[in-house]
Amino acid sequence: MSKKDYYETLGIEKNASAEEIKRAYRKLAIQHHPDKHKGDKAAEEKFKEISEAYEILSDPNKRSTYDQFGHEGLKGAFTGGGFNWQDFTHFGDLEDIFGGLGDIFSSFGVDSSSFGGGSGGRRRSRGPRRGRDIQQELDIEFTEAALGTEKTIEVSRNDTCNLCKGSGARPGTKEAVCPTCNGRGQVNMASGFFSISRTCNGCGGAGRVITNPCKECNGRGKTMVSKNIKVKVPAGVDSGVRLRVTREGDVGEKGGPRGDLYVVIYVKKHKFFKRHENDIYCEIKVSFPQAVFGAEVEVPTVDGKVKMKIPYGTQSGKVFRLRGKGVPNLFSGSGKGDQLVKVSVDVPERLTDEQKRILKEFSRTLGESSSSKGFIDKVKKVFK
């Protein structure tokens, strides 16, 4: 038997707006609500039929699929191959129309908002499950971030219980079939014309229960342990970077894989270097004669000292670039930033009589008195 067109079911046109769809459903829901037709199976089926149509047409994605492919395109939209109340995602709309639906689901111990979306409620998988991911913070030095390093960190995580080998049951005993659901993992409940399935409270959906829990893990099948794990920190990391260490998180359940360990990096400040993106910045002092006559000076870098030429007549504040002496590009895997070196001319605080005489002679060659304002300004510019 072919299914009736959803638009025809609600009595609306194919170009109906969302508000028109909701208004049509409201009118028909009030008209065909089974509580007005006690014991009338036809009324129950009609109410279910219009609710199915509303479920599809009120969802833009489902409606688009239906408009393109008809009922054939919706074969995977419902959990059991056909519409059931577990597939309905608009109990809130029914509560707005009739009220009291919350009381029905409360009597089941169920929140109506947990239904819908094709999942049939939240169910715990009986099979293997992946372990939980864990996170740890790691402080490293500036140079370690620039050059890369390997660290050993201590993490707390869940491992398989040594006593029960992960079963959760006391050695020599086994799990038993859950008496509440008889091993199904779900229980069926009905109220009026609603019939729903929900995860069994007795076993949490597993279908089996532990009657004699392991004394070591209290039935969990796992215990908290501390373990030292080596972490490779690649060159170029910066504060906030998360490193993923696969399969070093919590142990999985029922043979499932471990979760992952995420290491959040925090880089300590350096007393000499600063960083901006992949470039490193620093400042060095040179003497007045070095700035005037030029010199070759040693400059610290993250991987050792290098020689840098200071041209004659270098002004205080001049910035020099050491190419390739910055931080490696973490994301591209190739190329490095530069190191930018700001030169500051070191002004002597005390002068000998001889030094004063020479400086005065120097000022005389400039055609100015050492006490003149012009001379002082020039010296300030030199030493700025």
- Domain identity same for 245 and 154: yes
- Domain identity same for 145 and 106: no
Residues 6+ apart with CB under 8 A from 142: 267, 268, 269, 270, 273, 275, 302
User: So what's the pLDDT on residue 121?
Assistant: 34
User: So what's the pLDDT on residue 383?
Assistant: 44
What 3-state class would DSSP assign to 46? helix
User: So what's the pLDDT on residue 92?
Assistant: 65
User: So what's the pLDDT on residue 308?
Assistant: 95
Residues 6+ apart with CB under 8 A from 241: 264, 265, 330
Domain boundary among 241, 267, 293: 267
Q: What is the dihedral of CA 81, 85, 87, 89, to 10 degrees?
A: 160
Q: Per the domain annotation, does 200 fall within a domain? A: no
Give the domain extent around 21.
6-114
Q: Per the domain annotation, does 246 fall within a domain? A: yes
Q: Per the domain annotation, does 95 fall within a domain? A: yes
Number of domains in the chain: 4
Flag residues of the chain having pLDDT under 50. 100-125, 370, 372-373, 375-376, 379-380, 382-384
User: So what's the pLDDT on residue 253?
Assistant: 83
Q: What is the dihedral of CA 210, 216, 221, 225, to 10 degrees?
A: 160
- Domain identity same for 26 and 150: no
Q: Per the domain annotation, does 214 fall within a domain? A: no
- Domain identity same for 38 and 73: yes
Query: What CATH number does the domain containing 69 carry?
Result: 1.10.287.110
Q: Per the domain annotation, does 382 fall within a domain? A: yes
- Domain identity same for 326 and 303: yes
- Domain identity same for 261 and 336: no
Domain boundary among 331, 346, 361: 346
- Domain identity same for 86 and 33: yes
Per-residue pLDDT of 247-306, as tens digits, reads 999 999 878 899 999 999 999 999 999 999 999 999 999 988 888 889 999 999 999 999
- Domain identity same for 16 and 104: yes
Q: Per the domain annotation, does 211 fall within a domain? A: no
User: So what's the pLDDT on residue 102?
Assistant: 45
Q: Per the domain annotation, does 159 fall within a domain? A: yes
Helix, strand, coil shares, percent, the chain, to 5: 30, 25, 45
Per-residue pLDDT of 133-177, as tens digits, reads 999 999 999 999 999 999 999 999 999 999 998 888 999 888 889
Query: What CATH number does the domain containing 342 carry?
Result: 2.60.260.20
- Domain identity same for 14 and 27: yes
Domain boundary among 267, 289, 304: 267
Q: How far lies 84's CA from each of 46, 80, 87, 148, 285, in Å?
A: 13, 8, 6, 57, 79
- Domain identity same for 36 and 151: no
- Domain identity same for 21 and 144: no
- Domain identity same for 10 and 52: yes
Q: Count other Cβ atoms within 10 Å, centred on residue 122.
A: 11
Q: Per the domain annotation, does 282 fall within a domain? A: yes
159 close to 258: Cβ distance less than 8 angstroms: no
Q: Give start and end residues of each alpha helix (H) in the chain.
A: 6-10, 18-32, 41-57, 60-69, 91-98, 101-108, 142-147, 288-293, 353-365, 373-383
